[in-house]
Structure 1
């Protein structure tokens, strides 16, 4: 079970220990795939690479399969072991985490579909390309924050989770900046509206990925401390 120091405790049943460790490793594998999906989707968008975008769309099935597999394992562990206290929090947090990771995968797929649409319907030399630097930077920030959240999950590190959650709040500011730039671009010429909207929706997808990342950080706090900080009223409890 998770302890205050962030380590998984040991149980009398070696098999139970192995079950919990296996679940944790599968979550991290799923998180690694989602991180890769985000990176590849953003690259496909800014390089007009339809093949790369299609690969992201196809791999979304793998993300979904991870969620089904891990959820099934969690359900079986709950039924067989009937865990309590920290062990129960760990399994509940895992089930919540994979839901957020699956939704991040869906957002990455949306970006990939936008990449296909832009590539097939836009002139790569048009000014919409000027906004891709901001999208690339935004994507890097979101992906790095997700990596930090997953690392905090792996180590059950509340301090790192709190830092990652606070870093994620920059996502809102980056999204607002991109939205203002793209709206100005669309107002300049009606022909800019369609490609501008694609860029806007892609930025919105990245902003939502950031929201899901913050959720994972909150689950780490819940696992280790048993504290639900999702709607914390005080700054001290917020992540």
Structure 2
């Protein structure tokens, strides 16, 4: 059920404007769901060595790209038609920015799928899959929570997502050191471990994009840009 916060973008005297804003939100969340599924399946394809699933993910990436174009066009038309101000303008501008982040998450999922195909053709699973599963689960949760924070306009949850980004960075660095050790122990591991390293890098970037979405949610609700703020200042904005 929608909360009261959800309704703040639907209280205009113009029912058509209300419908346009609600549809923009709905389409953004639809795109978010597609990307979330795409990312989860790419990680699973890698771990399972499922080249067929990886091929499907790469083929479906065009749908995400098309949704990005359609959402950008719709947001631009709303600005032209309605000339929104303050709160409504923040929503529309934030959606334009967040759509770009979702498209880039889709790109990272496609990269992982491509690497999954290469690794499945090589046969035996290389070292590093435990780290892939762990970090993959972490960033998938971040992305899901960031989208949920948008749906409910929940700046407190968005702040929690932002705080997780540092942990993902630390996990990525630890995993990279582990893989480097494997490569030093046996040079035959270098090529395959490097592919896993690229997967981990893509997952780390997904965490960054989830963080960007969370920051935009806070901007939407609070009207404060916290992209370059310290965590302490961000907490003051959300708590204020």
TM-score normalised by structure 1 residue count: 0.93
SS of 2:8's equivalent in the other structure is: coil
State whether structure 2 residue 181 is matched by structure 1 residue 184: yes
Matched residues, number: 232
**1:11 and 2:1 are equivalent in the alignment:** no
Structure 1: gaps spanning 5 or more residues? none
1:145 corresponds to which residue? Answer: 142
1:111 matched residue in structure 2: 112
User: Residue 117 and residue 234 in structure 1: after superposition, are their counterparts in 2 closer, same or farther (change >3 A)?
Assistant: closer
Q: Which runs of 4+ in 1 moved over 3 A?
A: 4-7
Shift of 1:138: 1.1
Deviation at 1:233, TM superposition (A): 4.4
Moved more, 43-52 or 206-215: 43-52
Bigger mean CA deviation after superposition, 152-161 or 169-178: 169-178
Query: As a proportion of its length, which structure holds more helix?
Result: 2
Shift of 1:7: 4.2
Contact 1:6/1:158 (8 A) holds in 2: no
Give, in angstroms, the shift of residue 5 of structure 1. 5.0
Q: Does 1:26 align with 2:27?
A: yes
Contact 2:112 2:199 in 1 (8 A): yes
**CA-based RMSD:** 1.6
2:234 to 229, 232, 237: 237
Q: Which residue of 1 aligns with 2:71?
A: 70
Equivalent residue, structure 2, for 1:133? 130
Q: Quick one: which of 182, 191, 195 aligns to 2:192?
A: 195
Give the stretch that moved more between structures: 70-79 or 7-16: 7-16
1:35 is aligned to 36
- CA distance in structure 1 between the partners assigned to 2:166 and 2:13 by the alignment: 41
**2:61 is the alignment partner of 1:55:** no
* Cα displacement string for residues 56-81 of structure 1 (whole angstroms, at most 9, x for unaligned residues): 10111011011011011001111111
Shift of 1:187: 1.1
Tell me what 2:123 maps to: 123
Contact in 2 for aligned 1:33/1:63 (Cα 8 Å): yes
Pairwise CA distance, 1:14: 0.2
**TM-score, scaled to structure 2:** 0.93
The answer to whether the Cα contact below 8 Å between 2:5 and 2:152 also exists between their aligned partners in 1 is: no
Deviation per CA, 1:189-238: give whole Å up to 9, x if none: 22111100000000000000000000000001111111000011462226
* Structure-2 residue corresponding to 1:222: 219
